[in-house]
Chains A and B, each alone.
Chain A
């Protein structure tokens, strides 16, 4: 296990629980990023690999491997899926320069109804990604939705959608159910995004630095729905409460009684006074 100072904080975890992702800006140094881009351009073998194996030690002697050995990156991964996750699959995504892609909002893979367990997907942007380059777009707070894969294509835009605009070396670690899509690349440069999916091998409870778990900011983060949730915002806060109970191991956690009043089923029968 890594030292606490390399792990995510409770506020970071609350943001993950609420919005479905955490972002590590410029966490990979520029020299490693340059090496990664070079590796992508000269990648040997398949750019998509579905081999389920231990993640630790992958890509030795490569800049890509160095990026995932950085303490801040290992700490974030450990906070979410534990110290020795599995490599599910990875893919080197590339949108060519001046490419117009159709709307393709989707939720990866098949229906996944797990709640207390989750995989993460790590997206690494090894070069600068301005808005017009069409970095991967995420819909914050969509990770609890029961939706099947690319049936979501009919939603071209969602209010509050977040296209990735970032400097080189930025990583986004996101819940496997988060809605996402590629976008048009309106620049003269090909856009790369490396994605790896990781499965947990331990119960995902209190894996992060929990020193600030009772900070009031945690509740504030979990309480704020996304603008697109509309009238379903309260249901999404309830989902977040349930998720936080799993993550924290605190089955009594609640926000203004949202779940507690639904769980209130007193059994005591009072005798009638005659």
Chain B
């Protein structure tokens, strides 16, 4: 199941790359108080297998905006697969390595192996 609230937090339109504006430049016309600037948001999707179209098995979300709590209580994943995140404008910046298992540890399990890191660069209030 995909949580639409979490998806909304994670799926805002990207405003594209570009230089960070100064506080004076960032103030949007018509806005009441508060400077606006671009900040990075990070979405980490843990997938069940090594390919980007594998199912999401875990996730973490960090938002650069100071107004938003980084930790969301949503219990449902924002996307079903990593490819869905690409389609919502998230940019993949890290692909997991696949090291062979160490001798004698072939059947051990540990941390989540398939960690894909995405980013967005979006405008937000920073005052």
The docked-state distance in angstroms from the alpha carbon of A144 to that of B107 is 11
Q: Does residue B126 face the partner (Cβ distance < 8 Å to A)? A: no
Which residues of chain A come closer than 8 Å to B77, judged between CB atoms?
A: 157, 159
The reply to whether B109 and A158 form a contact with Cβ atoms under 8 Å apart is no
A147 at the interface (CB under 8 A from B): yes
Please pick, from A151, A156, A239, the residue contacting B107 in the complex, using a CB distance under 8 A. Answer: A239
Is A65 among interface residues, defined by CB-CB distance under 8 A? no
Contact present for B109 and A236 (CB under 8 Å)? yes
CB distance from A127 to the nearest CB of B (A): 21
Q: Is the CB of A147 within 8 A of B75?
A: no
With known contacts A158-B58, A230-B47, A235–B74 Cβ distance under 8 A: no
Minimum Cβ distance to chain A for residue B78 (Å): 9
- Give the chain A neighbours of B111 by CB distance below 8 A: 145, 147, 151-152
Instruction: Place the interface of chain A in its size category.
Output: 20 to 34
Q: Tell me, in angstroms, the Cα distance from A147 to B112 when the chains sit together.
A: 10
A155 touches B69 (CB 8 A): no
In the bound complex, CA of A138 to CA of B119 (Å):
28
> Looking at the complex, which one of B54, B59, B61 makes contact with A230 (CB distance below 8 Å)?
B54
- B-contact 0/1 string along A131-170, CB 8 Å cutoff: 0000000000000111100011011111101010000000
A239 to chain B, nearest CB (A): 7
Within 8 Å CB of B52, what residues of A?
A: none
Whether B73 sits at the interface, judged by CB under 8 Å, is: yes
A168 to B91, CA, bound (A): 46
User: How distant is the Cα of A11 from the Cα of B61 in the complex, in angstroms?
Assistant: 38
Which chain B residue has the least Cβ–Cβ distance from A157?
Answer: B59
Q: Are A228 and B109 in contact (CB under 8 A)?
A: no
Q: Mark B76-102, 1 if CB is under 8 A from A, else 0.
A: 010000000000000000000000000
Cβ contact within 8 Å between B60 and A145: no
In the complex, whether B26 has a CB less than 8 A from a CB of chain A is no
Main secondary structure of the interface of B (DSSP, over half): loop
Q: In the bound complex, how far is the Cα of B111 from the Cα of A230, in angstroms?
A: 12
B48 touches A146 (CB 8 A): no
A236 partner residues in chain B, CB cutoff 8 A:
109
Q: How far is the CA of A230 from the CA of B44 in the complex (A)?
A: 16
Contact with B along A80-100 (1 / 0, CB 8 A): 000000000000000000001
Centre residue among A154, A163, A184 by max chain B CB count within 10 A: A154
A227 / chain B contacts, CB cutoff of 8 Å = 57
Among B47, B109, B112, point to the contact of A144 (Cβ < 8 A): B109
Using a CB-CB cutoff of 8 Å, which residues 41-58 of chain B contact chain A? 44, 46-50, 54-58
Considering only CB atoms, which chain A residue lies closest to B113 in the complex? A232
25 A-B interface contacts by CB (under 8 A): A100-B69, A103-B60, A145-B109, A145-B110, A146-B108, A147-B111, A151-B111, A154-B60, A156-B61, A157-B74, A159-B56, A159-B57, A159-B58, A161-B75, A183-B73, A186-B73, A227-B57, A228-B48, A228-B58, A230-B48, A230-B54, A231-B50, A232-B113, A235-B108, A236-B109
